[in-house]
Amino acid sequence: MVDRLKSATEHLEAPGCPNCQIEMKWFCSKLVREEPVPVIEHQFICPSCRRVERSRTELAPVRVLPDKLSAPRLAAA
């Protein structure tokens, strides 16, 4: 999940502050929901007025199919 969090922050565009009209700086990102679709919330802060803005990224669920099914081993006699 850490790799997915890192990849979600690579394509972020910082919003502009509605008060100061300058680009906000990324502050942090965190996983806010894992099921049914993972959602990551990103927080940005204005370096001038300290206003905080949030945006969310929904990630596509990952499905990993097993190569083969597991079977119980038979005990040796």
Position 23 scores a pLDDT of 95
- Overall pTM surpassing 0.85 (yes/no): no
pLDDT tens digits for range 16-64? 999 999 999 999 888 888 888 888 899 999 999 999 999 988 877 666 6
Q: In what order do the strands lie in the sheet with 39-45?
A: 25-33, 39-45, 52-58
Contact 30, 41 (CB under 8 A): yes
CA dihedral 63, 28, 10, 14 (to 10 degrees): 130
Coil, strand or helix: which one is 4?
A: helix
Structure tokens at 47: 């370096």
